């Protein structure tokens, strides 16, 4: 019996034994589990879990909440007190899509009737075909906080079908999440052949749509009963448009300017397809129209440059020179008026999203034109000008998730959803916030944080000796400590406010204006080793306290010797 079962086992195991490769050039992951503890989790818009933990297993969020048991077989991320957000979702871009070379196109005898591919009319083509799995876009987008991209092929007016990809993975198949999600369309002409103008594009779109409706009609009847009916001879372009006529697929239509938004909305009104306005740059003149049309909008963060700040007293000489130069173009009064107009225009752009939000329009963000690298910077500008952080966050997560029909697996940090997370050093939209970790599909990517040099770090060492008060909010602890400097030998004595216990610091090391030391805290007969790192600036300091139970921020200030 034993022999049989062994043989059976061997048979069963044989294929595995025969075909599993031994490859020592690859590192097999130590563990599939990731545990993040003591983080501030912004799990969904309007909700925060203070100092909670997350367990990711098999790429899925297994557990999320406060006071989770730390597993002993998971990778523990040192992300104490950092901020966690659901990873961003790019509502539409050309990430990972190979750039086409606009080389010599085939000569066409009748430019008015070119083959569909020359004219850029390929609504049936899948983005999958053009994915470059080694594209640097994956890394770039991920570094900025994106976990998922909705991608469209490059091309002319109807480049093809979009796909959803995960920004981690090595092969096309690993990257691909979903294919043939929607149709991408843009008012981009085909130079030298029809449609060579924007009005040609619009008219061709209309025609294809109507032909698709007819084709659908015919094909349905033909499928039911082909007897006596001519064989259908519709082009691929036409048949690929059928799903949008039935509203089974959305149309992501790029419309940058307000004029283009009007045009595309008029087209939608006429034909009736499910439209998503994409990459809209100039929103402010069309807010009402968008609102009443009830069409989702993906906004472009391609903001204009901030106008120069004028009249700095110190630079008077340069100013005179500049003035003279300026005067050479227009009169100084004209220049003044022009500057006012430009400033107003700039203001219109940067406050437009706040207004869009006020009007109650749901919007997300797309990245066809705007450079994602400037995203956080631009987002800060918009927030300064009235955009609520919640709305910004929603636009980067929940809204695109819902739009793409994947809100059941991404968009928020919830149990069961994909392990797509951003871990940042401070609230994500804050100026100095940096992303320390990205988790995409459960895979962890760590980023080096270059410590920002403090002002006092210019070589000037401040005198840190003195008496300080301290506060550790998380532990509800506070008190005072005294630093003494005896010929570069630093000593620190900490006194807890609760019980007046004095603790002597060990291993006190000073580095520039930073101080690190260890303490043994004894409370109620309970003893704990604590290590502390402090950064001093003028009269204040801030830093963190690490214990076995996690880290916590500490801050305080010097006490006036009087």
Q: Which residues bind another protein (CB under 8 A)?
A: 104-113, 118, 191-200, 202-203, 206-207, 210-211, 213-214, 217-218, 229, 258-259, 262-263, 266, 285, 289, 304-305, 307, 328-331, 334, 337-338, 341-346, 349
Q: Using the 8-state DSSP alphabet, how is residue 158 labeled?
A: B
For residue 258, the SS3 value is: helix
Closest separation in Å from C-beta 328 to another protein = 4
Judged by CB, which is closer to another protein: 74, or 208? Answer: 208
Token output for 551: 């880290």
Query: Least distance (Å) from another protein to the CB of residue 405?
Result: 31
Q: Counting every residue, how long is the chain?
A: 562
* CA quadruple 400, 403, 404, 410: dihedral sign: positive
CB of residue 370 to another protein, shortest distance in Å: 14
Q: Which helix (H) or strand (E) holds 146?
A: strand 146-151
In this complex, which beta carbon is closest to another protein, that of residue 344 or of residue 506?
344
What is the distance between the alpha carbons of residues 85 and 91, in angstroms, rounded to a whole number? 17
- Nearby residues of 135 by Cβ (< 8 Å), 6 or more positions away: 95, 96, 97, 98
**In angstroms, what is the minimal distance from the CB of 203 to another protein?**
5
Q: Residue 263: CA atoms inside 13 Å, Cβ hemisphere, count? A: 19
Within 375-431, strands assigned E span 421-424
Nearer to another protein, 277 or 545 (CB): 277
Taking the least distance from each CB to another protein, the nearer of 203 and 501 is 203
Tell the smallest beta-carbon distance from residue 375 to another protein (Å): 19
230/294 with CB nearer another protein? 230
Name the minimum Å distance from CB 225 to another protein: 11
What span, in angstroms and rounded, lies between the C-alpha atoms of 406 and 398? 10
Q: By C-beta, is 336 or 506 nearer to another protein?
A: 336
Would you say 337 or 451 has its CB closer to another protein? Answer: 337
In angstroms, the CA 537 to CA 453 distance is 11
Between 252 and 349, name the residue whose CB sits nearer to another protein. 349
The Cα–Cα gap between 56 and 54 comes to 6
As measured in angstroms, the least distance from the Cβ of 156 to another protein is 13
Q: Give the Cα separation of 66 and 135 in Å (integer).
A: 38
* Closest by Cα among 79, 93, 99 to 167: 93
Distance separating alpha carbons of residues 127 and 93, to the nearest angstrom:
11
Give the shortest CB-123-to-another protein separation in angstroms: 16
Identify whether the C-beta of residue 163 lies closer than 8 Å to the C-beta of residue 176.
yes
Q: How far is the CB of 93 from another protein (least distance, A)?
A: 22
Q: Which is nearer to another protein, 287 or 435 (by Cβ)?
A: 287
The 10 Å CB-count burial string (b at 16+, else e) for 350-375 is bbbbbbbbeeebbbbbbbbebebeeb
């Amino acid at each position: 019996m034993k022999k049989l079962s062994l043989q059976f086992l061997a048979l069963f195991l044989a294929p595995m034994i025969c075909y599993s490769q031994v490859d020592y050039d690859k590192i097999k992951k130590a563990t599939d589990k990731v545990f993040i503890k003591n983080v501030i989790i912004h799990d969904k818009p309007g909700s925060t879990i203070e100092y909670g933990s997350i367990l990711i297993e098999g790429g899925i969020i297994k557990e999320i909440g406060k006071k989770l048991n730390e597993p002993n077989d998971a990778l523990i991320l040192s992300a104490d007190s950092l901020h966690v957000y659901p990873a961003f979702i790019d509502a539409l871009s050309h990430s990972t899509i190979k750039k086409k070379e606009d080389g010599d196109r085939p000569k066409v005898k009748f430019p008015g009737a070119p083959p569909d591919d020359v004219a850029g009319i390929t609504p049936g083509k899948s983005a999958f075909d053009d994915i470059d799995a080694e594209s640097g876009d994956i890394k770039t987008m991920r570094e900025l906080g994106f976990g998922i991209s909705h991608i469209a092929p490059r091309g002319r007016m109807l480049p093809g079908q979009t796909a959803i990809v995960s920004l981690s993975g090595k092969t096309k198949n690993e990257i691909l999440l979903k294919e043939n999600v929607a149709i991408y369309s843009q008012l981009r002409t085909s130079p030298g052949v029809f449609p060579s103008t924007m009005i040609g594009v619009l008219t061709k779109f209309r025609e294809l749509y109507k032909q698709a409706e007819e084709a659908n009609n015919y094909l349905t009847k033909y499928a039911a009963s082909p007897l006596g009916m001519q064989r259908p001879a519709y082009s691929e372009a036409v048949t690929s448009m059928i799903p949008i006529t039935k509203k089974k697929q959305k149309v992501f239509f790029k419309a940058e300017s307000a004029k283009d938004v009007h045009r595309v909305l008029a087209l939608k009104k006429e034909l009736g397809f499910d439209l998503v306005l994409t990459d809209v740059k100039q929103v402010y003149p069309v807010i009402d129209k968008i609102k009443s049309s009830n069409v989702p909008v993906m906004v472009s963060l391609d903001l204009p440059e901030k106008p120069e700040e004028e009249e700095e007293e110190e630079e008077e000489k340069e100013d005179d020179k500049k003035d003279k130069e300026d005067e050479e173009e227009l009169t100084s009064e004209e220049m003044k008026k022009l500057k006012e107009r430009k400033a107003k225009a700039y203001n219109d752009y940067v406050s437009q999203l706040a207004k869009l939000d006020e009007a109650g329009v749901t919007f997300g963000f797309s990245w066809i034109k705007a450079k994602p690298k400037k995203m956080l910077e631009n987002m800060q500008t918009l927030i300064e000008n009235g955009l609520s952080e919640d709305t910004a966050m929603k636009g980067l997560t929940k809204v695109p998730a819902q739009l793409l029909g994947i809100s059941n697996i991404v968009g928020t940090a919830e149990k069961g959803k994909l392990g797509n997370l951003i871990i940042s050093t401070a609230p994500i939209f804050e100026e100095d916030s940096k992303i320390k970790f990205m988790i995409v599909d459960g895979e962890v990517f760590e980023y080096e944080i270059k410590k920002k040099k403090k002002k006092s770090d210019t070589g000037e060492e401040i005198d840190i000796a003195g008496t300080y008060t301290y506060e550790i909010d998380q532990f509800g602890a506070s008190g005072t400590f005294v630093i003494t400097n005896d010929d570069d030998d630093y000593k620190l004595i900490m006194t807890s406010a609760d019980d007046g216990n004095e603790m002597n610091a060990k291993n006190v090391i000073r580095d520039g204006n930073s101080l690190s030391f260890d303490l043994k805290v004894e409370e109620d007969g309970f003893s704990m080793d604590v290590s502390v790192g402090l950064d001093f600036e003028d009269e204040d300091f801030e830093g963190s306290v690490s214990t076995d139970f996690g880290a916590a921020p500490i801050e305080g200030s010097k006490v006036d010797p009087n």
